[in-house]
A and B are shown apart, each in its own frame.
Chain A
């Protein structure tokens, strides 16, 4: 029962470095999401992929890029990390469309120094 798996769990980056957060789901879901969670700000949607082959911006897409590699995998890339991107990142998936029941990964805690 893997569900949604994110890697890595923790990461420290220096300002300007790049990295990719990986996410994979084994539930045959169509839709996948990337959120960030900051104290006092709640969950904010960065990017989502409604189905394989499509990606769309969410509420806070600046500084990020995504790739829906296949139906299982959805990666989030930080090209040039900034301290403002210090956050906890969550990947989620759902069947899609009206079936919005979301399942989450365990999160990646990213610190940019």
Chain B
């Protein structure tokens, strides 16, 4: 059974730093991996979806990488800003195409 883990559960860094969020999964036979952002009291916003055939995907200051063999994805945020403060979640589909979720990393960017 696929399990998804995100470490750390929370992260606080000063503004301007580059940072990496981690997502691990136990079954490497995935179709894709999706990163989401959730602001307090809000819904989830899709940030990046990286297909199993891809090694990385970029959107602005965000870069997601995927290493299926090691069961890991990282979300790299460059030049962090206070507006990046949110909870970041990753998810992978199982064999029935249903998403299996990590518990999220709560990110705080200090001005």
Whether A106 pairs with B32 at a CB distance below 8 angstroms is no
Q: Which residues of B contact A43 (CB under 8 A)?
A: 89, 101
Q: Given known contacts A42-B101, A100-B32, is B93 in contact with A106 (CB within 8 Å)? A: no
From B42, B93, B102, B103, give the contact of A100 (CB < 8 A).
B93
Whether B43 pairs with A107 at a CB distance below 8 angstroms is yes
Known: A31-B97, A105-B43. 10 other contacts (CB 8 A): A42-B104, A43-B101, A45-B98, A58-B98, A96-B97, A100-B32, A100-B97, A103-B46, A106-B43, A107-B42
From A50, A90, A96, A100, give the contact of B44 (CB < 8 A).
A90
Interface size on B, residues (CB 8 A): 21
Interface size on A, residues (CB 8 A): 21
Q: Whole-angstrom distance from the CB of B73 to the nearest CB of chain A? A: 15
In the bound complex, what is the Cα–Cα distance between A88 and B98 (angstroms)?
Answer: 20
Does chain B have a CB within 8 A of A97? Answer: yes
Q: Which residues of A contact B45 (CB under 8 A)?
A: 104
Does chain A have a CB within 8 A of B21? Answer: no
> Could you mark each residue 17-47 of chain B with 1 if its beta carbon is under 8 Å from any beta carbon of chain A, else 0?
0000000000000011010100001111110
Q: List 6 A-B contacts (CB under 8 A).
A: A42-B101, A42-B103, A45-B98, A45-B99, A97-B97, A98-B97
Whether A104 pairs with B43 at a CB distance below 8 angstroms is yes
Q: Which residues of A contact B89 (CB under 8 A)?
A: 43
